[in-house]
Amino acid sequence: MAGVSGSSTGTGRGRADDAGSEVVEAQGEIRVPEVEERLHVEKRQSEIGEVQVRKTVTQEQQTVPVDLMREEVLVEERDTEDRPATDADLRNAFDEGTIRVPLRGEEAVVSKEAVVTGEVVIDKERTTEHQDITGTVRRVRVEVEEHYQRERDTFRQHYAQGRGSSGQPPFEEAEHTYRTGFEAAYDERHAGKRFEEIEPELRRQYQGSSSARAGGDPWERLIDEVREGYRRGGGR
């Protein structure tokens, strides 16, 4: 957060100093833009994976029961009463040879037929997944120092009535706690919020600061001063 303080006289155009600073001698008001970065999330199509379906061919023995018909020869000798032979009986009666009697029957003929017994259906469906995209953005805020300076004496009195009355460090060494609350009140993210709502966030920031790591006062001892700074900055 940038502070703005000091004064200038005269008119004229700006000039650049060393170390990237700029001293502006202006007539009338000075406008300093507050700039911040914001995250913009876009979506694009991409291949996020694949599903592989592998086919294998196996062999197995099958047994199919079947009933086959066949003819068999039954040979039977019968005794008959004597009777005169007829011309039909005498035809080839005394010829030697072999009488051939064909036998018919059924035999199994094996063939294979491809039969579809089922199917695997591969389909795709679209689902929506919620994700929180986190990124680091920068924000430029212009803090008008005179706003804090108007309240500084009030903060000094508050400190004198609290920790300052028990022989603690002078106000100047503890002043940063009031500034923490005061600046939080000017943060647009906290607009309309009560101190109790933002206190956990401020606590985490302090506990991760170098002051806390260096053995500074515990948060419970500083919270009243931070709350006072927040209240004087316009917070609730």
Q: What is the pLDDT of residues 169-197, one digit of tens each?
A: 888 888 888 888 888 888 888 888 899 99
- 76, 80, 84, 94, 149 from 90: Cα distances, Å: 21, 17, 10, 8, 153
* Predicted pLDDT at 23: 55
Q: Which domain holds residue 232?
A: 159-236
| Mean pLDDT, the chain, whole residue set | 78
The answer to whether residue 131 sits within a structural domain is: no
Instruction: Give me the number of domains the chain comprises.
Output: 1
Assessment of whether the complete model's pTM goes beyond 0.85: no
The answer to whether residue 199 sits within a structural domain is: yes
The answer to whether residue 120 sits within a structural domain is: no
Least confident of 8-22, 102-116, 153-167, 181-195: 8-22
The answer to whether residue 206 sits within a structural domain is: yes
The answer to whether residue 22 sits within a structural domain is: no
Alpha-carbon 92 to chain mean position:
103
